Structure 1
Amino acid sequence: MRYLATFLPVVALLSACSSQPKTASAELHSNPFKGNGGFLLEPAHSGTVLGGDFSNNQAVNAFIDKMVRKHGFERQQLHNVLAQAKNLDWVIRLMDRQAPTPTTQGPTGLNSAWIRYRSKFITPDNVQNGVAFWNQYRDALQRAQQTYGVPPEIIVGIIGVETRWGRVMGKTRILDALATLSFNYMRRAEYFGGELETFLLMVREENNDLLDLRGSFAGAMGYGQFMPSAFKQYAVDFNGDGHINLWDPVDAIGSVAHYFQQHGWLTNGTVAVQANGQAPGLESGFKTRYTLAQLASAGFSPIIPLENNQQVSLLKFDMGTRYQYWYGLPNFYAITRYNHSNHYAMAVWQLGEAVRDAR
């Protein structure tokens, strides 16, 4: 999502369910623990705090200066909140594990990579959980399709792959994750500093206690695992209560659909079409672009007709004994805007279709 975290959702699934933000009410605007330019804090979270994992950190001091100057935050309150943030060394270790590393060795041949990846999501129990989610939120899914043109199976597929339909939204306190990555993870400190900035603006606007909100180790939030920057650009109040709450399934459904609409989803368009043929040496992936004539000359043909003037990508999936090829269409590329992975996009689509077919 991204922007969203492009980290494999499987890692996020290792976490337990998160706490949900408390519902805001009219009384919050006069809450004594929320001043002008500050944000709501429960009594246990307010007050002056000494020390902390990020005390005497020059990057933190510079960040506070920016938030006061640029957004009018209360300096002392922001200092006290960041003093309560915890540095999580294990978060940095997980991030380093996912960082791209140079390799001198090319592909080692068929190894069933796609079958293993797919089996993590498309199982009988998981499909039935998806059916239950679809049935429970059928009205919201239909309204999202009418509003944004994105079919229910895509929204259900995304939420299923990301959080098992809300069962595993992450248990890491978001403030801790983003502070750790902003101030102690130099490789991507600028990016995560921007996410922390947007997160603080979000909790101030939505009257959440930021010390309660939990998500993934990278700071992704709610049913759809939006990063704060994705919240800012694409999240919507789809249940009409005056607040945007990504831990609310209806708001999450509308926000995921809006995300796809804004990333070029074609209403009534398919995602991919399977191909006949084999050409292991031909470049593949969602970034590739071929005409149908180019792929035909390489020995490929679609199992159903495609428009002659359409550009497509060539997708290759390792089935263990052979490669399976697909023509990737614009809607497949749209799914990869959520997570830049061929496996991820295909799993989302096929999981959503499996849930739809099982209803």
Structure 2
Amino acid sequence: MRFKVAYLPLIALLAACSSKPQTPQEMAVEKAPKGGFLLEPSHAVQPMFGDFAGNPAAEQFINQMVDKHGFDRQQLHAVIGQAKRLDYVLRLMDRQAPSYTPPSGPNGAWIRYRNKFITPDNVQNGVAFWDQYQEALQRAQQVYGVPPEIIVGIIGVETRWGRVMGKTRILDALATLSFNYPRRAAYFSSELETFLLMARNEQDDPLDLRGSFAGAMGYGQFMPSSYKQYAVDFNSDGHANLWDPVDAIGSVAHYFQQHGWRSGENIAVPASGQAPLLQDGFKTSYSVSMLAASGLSPQGSLNGNNQVSLLRLDLGTSYQYWYGLPNFYVITRYNHSTHYAMAVWQLGEAVSKARQGSML
């Protein structure tokens, strides 16, 4: 993944000796082999080429990177000129917010979601990951206060512990969404800016890095902005590398610490009773006394919290209610979904129990 900025490759030297004149595109790529950023700026600026040539948003972005961060214009032309517009990325983004009609009754939505992640094979893969990186997980808990089962749960839900980290070139995804997706162009342009800064600082080749169709990276699927704020060099090799499992473990733990994780406290507590008339979701806030008056009572410690969220899980034949505590809300900062947060927690718990059973 990493490369050292060096002399022009042999193929470029051979091309220079050829009598055949080079096109502007060939000259631009030669100046920044494989999309890398050279230490010395180039001087003869060739016009933009590739899928984003003539795109006003791309030109504006390049001007910003030159003026704000001192990038060399020719090298940016060479890098972004090699980026591809991915129409499937645009289609997938449009599907992210489908119209939603609440069901008239329970239909098993939570069970279907849970069964995507908590399977015997997946749990055993989680045990293997935990065993392999036990030292890093324990150290992350000591440094950041986040238990191993939460870190294992996040990485399991996000990438199946590194098995599914995405095959889309991040540069292609972010350029497509920055320059051809007006609805969220400002957000993705900022992510592309941070991504290119990361590549320059870490001496990564931006054309080599792959992730999700939206630009998420590594074991924990951090967006570039999350990398900038929360990624840590947890293996002390001088780089914060999200594709390294140890760095990913430390970075996920740091993310949770910075979002207010409360060490040693519960995450959610099941409720006895039903409250069909109350609004539910991780964003809700009810006093414990109000929920009691509505017929609910906790089946475990609320750790002294008097304000909680009301969570409702669809079991197919009925609804199950939970008291959501601050740590549950912290998990939703990673992905704003009650189902997601519950799956992370329960997957981590399932891996922990299976691991303890295998050690008996």
Query: Alpha carbons of 1:41 and 1:149: their partners in 2 closer, same or farther (altered >3 Å)?
Result: farther
Moved more, 242-251 or 304-313: 304-313
What is the distance in 1 between the residues matched to 2:31 and 2:167?
Answer: 20
Give the aligned partner of residue 146 of structure 2.
Answer: 150
> Do 2:48 and 2:77's aligned partners in 1 also have CA atoms closer than 8 Å?
no
Matches for 1:103-118 after TM superposition, within 5 Å: 105-118=101-114
Matched, 1:249 2:245: yes
What is the distance in 1 between the residues matched to 2:349 and 2:168?
Answer: 31
> Do 2:118 and 2:347's aligned partners in 1 also have CA atoms closer than 8 Å?
yes
Q: State the superposition RMSD in angstroms.
A: 1.9
Q: Secondary structure at the match of 1:98?
A: coil
The offset of 1:79, in angstroms, is 0.8
Q: Secondary structure at the match of 2:95?
A: helix
Matches for 1:156-305 after TM superposition, within 5 Å: 156-305=152-301
> Do 1:41 and 1:209's aligned partners in 2 also have CA atoms closer than 8 Å?
no
Q: Secondary structure at the match of 2:233?
A: coil
Give the aligned partner of residue 32 of structure 1.
Answer: 7
Give the aligned partner of residue 59 of structure 2.
Answer: 61
Task: Specify which of 305, 317, 320 is matched with residue 321 of structure 1.
Answer: 317
What is the distance in 2 between the residues matched to 1:324 and 1:41?
Answer: 61
What is the distance in 2 between the residues matched to 1:230 and 1:308?
Answer: 31
Instruction: For residues 110-134 of structure 1, give each alpha carbon's deviation from its aligned partner in whole angstroms, at most 9, with x where no partner exists.
Output: 1100000000000000000000000
The offset of 1:49, in angstroms, is 8.3
The offset of 1:355, in angstroms, is 0.3
Task: Specify which of 38, 43, 53 is matched with residue 33 of structure 2.
Answer: 43
> Do 2:62 and 2:73's aligned partners in 1 also have CA atoms closer than 8 Å?
yes
Query: Alpha carbons of 1:86 and 1:244: their partners in 2 closer, same or farther (altered >3 Å)?
Result: same
> Do 1:275 and 1:326's aligned partners in 2 also have CA atoms closer than 8 Å?
yes
What is the distance in 1 between the residues matched to 2:299 and 2:74?
Answer: 64
What is the distance in 2 between the residues matched to 1:109 and 1:165?
Answer: 35
What is the distance in 2 between the residues matched to 1:44 and 1:226?
Answer: 24
> What stretches of structure 2 of length at least 5 have no aligned partner?
10-29, 37-41, 356-360
Aligned residue pairs, count: 327
What is the distance in 2 between the residues matched to 1:202 and 1:246?
Answer: 11
Match for 1:268: what amino acid? Answer: G
Give the TM-score, by structure 1 length: 0.88
Query: Alpha carbons of 1:33 and 1:100: their partners in 2 closer, same or farther (altered >3 Å)?
Result: farther
Give the aligned partner of residue 70 of structure 2.
Answer: 72
> Do 2:272 and 2:296's aligned partners in 1 also have CA atoms closer than 8 Å?
yes
The answer to which structure, 1 or 2, has the higher relative contact order (CA under 8 A, 6+ apart) is: 1
Report percent identity of matched pairs: 71
Match for 1:284: what amino acid? Answer: D
Instruction: For residues 183-203 of structure 1, give each alpha carbon's deviation from its aligned partner in whole angstroms, at most 9, with x where no partner exists.
Output: 000110000000000000000
Instruction: For residues 121-175 of structure 1, give each alpha carbon's deviation from its aligned partner in whole angstroms, at most 9, with x where no partner exists.
Output: 0000000000000000000000000000000000000000000000000000000
The offset of 1:308, in angstroms, is 5.6
The offset of 1:32, in angstroms, is 3.3
> Do 1:156 and 1:352's aligned partners in 2 also have CA atoms closer than 8 Å?
yes
What is the distance in 2 between the residues matched to 1:309 and 1:177?
Answer: 42
The offset of 1:44, in angstroms, is 4.5
Query: Alpha carbons of 1:106 and 1:124: their partners in 2 closer, same or farther (altered >3 Å)?
Result: closer
Give the TM-score, by structure 2 length: 0.87
Instruction: For residues 21-61 of structure 1, give each alpha carbon's deviation from its aligned partner in whole angstroms, at most 9, with x where no partner exists.
Output: 23x5xxx2x52369xxxxx9973547978631100111111
Instruction: For residues 285-330 of structure 1, give each alpha carbon's deviation from its aligned partner in whole angstroms, at most 9, with x where no partner exists.
Output: 1111111111000000111243565211100000001001110000
Point out the structure with max Rg over C-alpha. Answer: 2
Give the aligned partner of residue 6 of structure 1.
Answer: none
> What stretches of structure 1 of length at least 5 have no aligned partner?
1-20, 35-39
Give the aligned partner of residue 80 of structure 2.
Answer: 82
Q: Secondary structure at the match of 1:335?
A: helix
The offset of 1:208, in angstroms, is 0.3
What is the distance in 2 between the residues matched to 1:33 and 1:291?
Answer: 66
